[in-house]
Copies of this chain bind each other. A is one copy, B any other.
Amino acid sequence: MNDQTPPARSARPTRSGGRAARHALRAAPLTEDKRPVRPGMEGGLYQPLSQADMDRIYETALTALEEIGLVDAPESGIAAMTGAGAILGDDGRLRFPRGLVQSMQAIAAKEITLCGRDPRFDMHLAGTKVHYGTAGAAVHMVDVDGRNYRDSTVQDLHDAAKIVQTLDNLHFLQRPMVARDITDNRLLDLNTIYACCAGTTKHVGVSFTEPGFVKDALEMLHMMAGGEGAWRARPFVSNSNCFVVPPMKFATESCQVMEECIAGGMPVLLLSAGQAGATAPAPIAGAIVQAVAECLAGLVYVNSISPGYPAIFGTWPFVSDLRTGAMSGGSGEQALLTAGCAQMHRYLGLPGGAAAGIADAKLPDMQAGWEQMCSNVMAGLSGLNMVYEAAGMHASLLGFCHESLILGDDLIGQALRCVRGIEVTEETLGLATMHEVCVGGPGHYLGSDQTLGLMQTEYIYPALADRTSPKEWVENDRPDLIANAVAKKEAILSAPSQVAFPADVDQAIRERFDIRLPTV
Contacts and interface: CB of A to CB of B under 8 A. Distances in A.
A215 interface: no
Contact of A481 (B1, B285, B366, B444): B366
Interface in A421-464: 421-425, 427-431, 433-435, 437-439, 443-446, 448, 450-452, 454-455, 458-461, 464
A153 interface: no
Contacts of A316: 7
Contacts of A322: 22, 451-452, 454-455, 459
A362 B45 contact: no
Contacts of A353: none
Contacts of A464: 367
A324 B22 CA distance: 8
Interface string A230-247: 000000000011100111
A312 interface: no
Given A6-B137, A7-B271, A422 B53 contact: yes
B8 A397 contact: yes
For the side of the interface on A, what is the size category?
Answer: 35 or more
A341 to B, nearest CB: 10
B467 A278 contact: no
Contact of A53 (B404, B424, B439): B424
Contact of A14 (B26, B325, B365, B407): B325
A19 B328 CA distance: 17
A13 B278 contact: yes
Contact of A336 (B5, B284, B418): B418
Contacts of A421: 48, 336
B26 A278 contact: no
Interface stretch (A55-63, A108-116, A159-167, A299-307): A55-63
| A-B residue pairs, 6 tightest by C-beta | A369-B369, A286-B430, A332-B417, A283-B428, A3-B207, A7-B273
6 contacts: A149-B474, A283-B450, A284-B423, A284-B458, A285-B429, A360-B466
